[in-house]
Amino acid sequence: MARRRRGSPIEEEKPIYTEKIPLSLMPRKWMRGKKWSRLENLGRFVGIFLIFMAVLTAAYDLEIIYSAIFLIGAVLVFYITEVLSPDAQRVIRPIRVYKNGVLVYTTSFEKALGKRSFLTSDDVKGIKVRRMNLQTEEGIQNLPTHLTFVLNNNMKIKMGRRNCTELQTIIGMLDDLGIKEIGL
């Protein structure tokens, strides 16, 4: 019996625009994708192990300093895997603009906090854009360099440093979607 082929994606599901990330903005050339994901998962395991060790030291009435060291280590590992790493991942993941919203990278932890991957104009209060004076062929121009989505619940999704021309195009498309730039 022949296998049923999956249908091609519907035209409405295809992005209107996909950002092109220049190689100059891509960090970690050798630790991308699955390798980096495995390292993050190892960090999460180490964090859980440190919490377990803190509980054990407290249960066996060892000095409080040992529990404190284990908890500080767990918080540090948690901060690296759940805050710093997603910020670095967002820089190398493209922003995709659809007819009814925009798709950005969020981790499962951020989704649990209320940050969604697919943002519609109803989910977003606005965008904050950081601009810099940059030298171009036309002279010095004030161009966008960083993008931050501000959600209705006042949470922020920092997208990090982006290519100026790509960012100008994305800001124009977001403006057409009803996601406006808000002041700092």
Spell out the domain ranges in the chain: 30-92, 96-177
Residue 6 has pLDDT above 70, yes or no: no
Instruction: Give the confidence band of 7 by pLDDT, cuts at 50, 70, 90.
Output: very low
| Sheet strand arrangement including 102-103 | 17-18, 96-97, 102-103, 118-119
What is the value of pTM for the model shown?
Answer: 0.75
End-to-end Cα distance, the chain: 61
Close Cβ partners of 120 (under 8 Å, ≥ 6 residues apart): 100, 101
**Phi, psi (degrees; rounded to nearest 5) at 96:** -115, 125
- Give the phi and the psi of residue 117 in degrees, each rounded to 5: -80, -45
